[in-house]
A = this chain, B = another copy of it.
Amino acid sequence: MKQTFRLVIDCPDQIGLVASVSQFLADHGATIVEASHHTDLQTGRFFMRHEIGTEHLSLDYNAFVSAFTPLANEYQMQWKLSDSTQRQRVALLGSIESHCLVDILHRWHTGELYCDIPCVISNHPQLKEFADWYQVPFHWIDFKTLGKEQAFAQIRTLLQEYDIDLTVLARFMQILPQSLCRELEGRAINIHHSFLPSFAGARPYQQAYDRGVKLIGATCHYVTQDLDEGPIIEQSVKRISHSDSAPDMVRKGKDCEVTALAHGVRYHLEDRVLIHHNKTVVFA
């Protein structure tokens, strides 16, 4: 992987802002591989992502951060600089369904998803075989024996011990406690098996079947304290008909889930997602 720096900025819109940032980049020899801007006209908020080639850059990572900080302060930026060669550490949380988990593992294994996956955590033991094969440590947290509070305490400990950057709920069927939601804010991604906000909550395919919709879907979103209400990163849909039973819908929906989750995780890992209140800007 060729090294790039990703400069991601979120600040009040202001004349001269882009000029100042661009001048800073030019002054230090940055080639711009990709640049994306968005102004939220309702709130006057400005979002910008630069992917910067480092071949001719006169600053290393730390020097860049130091040099850029005054400018960032001047424009009241929330910002970050990330180095594309630094792999984020991703924990996968699963339950029994394997399709999303295996898909993420496979995309990681083939290099499509650039990250480390130091652990798989599950409230059921069945997924161990997959984790084993990909040589990822597997932790079965036995919710029945431990009780919910203890179980989540163990998960929190694991996330800390493994120094996890991003937690991916790959059809993890337990509701995270509020405190953990807060801790992981902006760093935990869930896949919900419906086209939210339709069919939030339990058994979305059955709900979809009962309502007789003609398209089913899946939603990849950040976890927040409000269940199934977090900022949406990606959604995917598929056409169905009266001839699809609820199990058919489950089968078809899985393809939506896999795709939406894989996209969402990749966008996050590549610093393409900016959260703004309860919505996202995705520089896809």
Contacts and interface: CB of A to CB of B under 8 A. Distances in A.
A215 B235 contact: yes
Interface in A227-256: 231-235, 237, 239, 241-243, 245, 251, 255
B212 A235 contact: no
13 contacts: A15-B56, A17-B26, A18-B25, A19-B25, A19-B26, A22-B23, A33-B39, A34-B37, A35-B37, A38-B242, A197-B213, A212-B232, A214-B234
Contacts of A23: 19, 22-23
A242 B231 CA distance: 12
A77 interface: no
Nearest to A132: B133
Given A19-B23, A32-B39, A98-B106, A197 B211 contact: yes
A131 to B, nearest CB: 12
A212 B282 CA distance: 11
Interface string A26-43: 110111111111111100
